[in-house]
Amino acid sequence: MLEAIPVDAEHFFEFIGGSGLAVILVSVHPLHTFNRSLAQQLVGEHQDIALGIIDLGDLVLIGGPALRFLHQGLRSCGAPSSFGVMPGYCLFRGGEMLAWDAGLPAFADVAAIARSALLGIIWSGVTHDVAFVGQALHQATEQVAAQRVAMLFRHAVANGDANRRASGQSSPPHVDDLYWAYQMLGVLPTATDHEVHESWRRRRAETHPDHAGQDPAEFERRSRISAEINHARDIILSYRSGGTRRASA
């Protein structure tokens, strides 16, 4: 499927949470659309890849957890995150962000774009139609940017596979489970490991079964919540350690 589908903030986790690859363009304007050349390359290499586009303005206004998750993802893959969520293409697998790229031409692309512009000028002189110059520039810009982004994403997927095989890591927790875990402990995805531990300790003290008195139903309820709090902590720590930590039974 070459057409990127619109994704709203409410369905963001559902879109990226599948076991396969997903690419979302964080767009800043209706004219900022998914690079068609990039879409062709991605679908050609990964037939089941999901392509989506989400508006940055809507994300900032109503994004909530999705906005925070993207910000953390940018930090984890070494992408710019000082200003929050940056527009561009985000690559996910199983809810984990693997790579990001602005999707814009780089300085190294100038020569290739200039050659295409020259061809457009020549052709416009032959046909007496200056529109060919703009078309040539647009196509060249899209193609060189698509090639660079596709290569970056290809390496990110390959490196992720190699790292998991080398370390024997399992797949990271499903993104819905991760979101539930942060909600259960009452912390943001940007919380430090110490903050996660302190929240877990506080929640455990608040809901400990010993405070149930002589009420069997309350004891059972508190025991269930206590187990869920432990599980939430394990999911977060497993995600942050790359899936090497075993969850508590």
Percent helix / strand / coil, the chain, rounded to 5: 60, 10, 30
* pLDDT confidence of residue 132: 53
**What CATH architecture applies to the domain 5-105+138-167?**
3-Layer(aba) Sandwich (3.40)
Half-sphere exposure of residue 155, counting CA atoms within 13 Å on the CB side? 9
Phi, psi of 105 (to 5 degrees): -60, 145
Report the pLDDT value the prediction gives residue 173, as an integer from 0 to 100: 56
Distinct helix (H) and strand (E) counts, the chain: 9, 5
Task: Give pLDDT, residue 161.
Answer: 61
HSE-up (13 A, CA, CB side) for residue 49: 27
Question: What values do phi and psi take at 6, rounded to 5?
Answer: -65, 135
Calpha distance 214→131 (Å, rounded): 83
Neighbours of 234 (CB within 10 A): 18
Which of helix, strand or coil describes residue 140? Answer: helix
pLDDT at residue 176, rounded to an integer: 60
Strand partners, 90: 24, 100
pLDDT of the residue at 249: 37
For 93, the enclosing helix (H) or strand (E) is: strand 88-93
Looking at the domain that runs over 175-240, which CATH code has it been given?
1.10.287
* CATH 3.40.30.10 domain span(s) along the chain: 5-105+138-167
pTM for the model = 0.61
DSSP line for 163-201 = HHHHHT--PPPPHHHHHHHHHHHT--TT--HHHHHHHHH
Residues of the chain within CATH 1.10.287 domain(s) are 175-240
Per-residue model confidence (pLDDT) at position 248: 45
Strand order in the sheet with 88-93: 5-6, 50-55, 21-27, 88-93, 96-101
End-to-end CA distance of the chain: 41
> How many CB atoms are located within 10 Å of the residue 44 CB?
11
H-run or E-run covering 50: strand 50-55
Question: Which residues, including other chains, have CB under 8 Å from residue 63's CB and lie 6 or more apart?
Answer: 9, 12, 70, 85
How many residues in the chain? 249
Q: Residue 185 corresponds to which amino acid?
A: L
pLDDT tens across the length of the chain (249 residues): 578 999 988 888 888 877 689 999 999 999 999 999 999 999 999 888 999 999 999 888 876 778 888 888 888 788 887 778 889 999 998 778 889 999 887 666 666 666 656 655 665 665 656 565 556 666 767 888 888 899 999 988 887 665 555 545 555 555 567 777 888 888 887 788 888 999 999 988 888 888 887 787 888 888 888 888 888 888 888 887 765 444 443
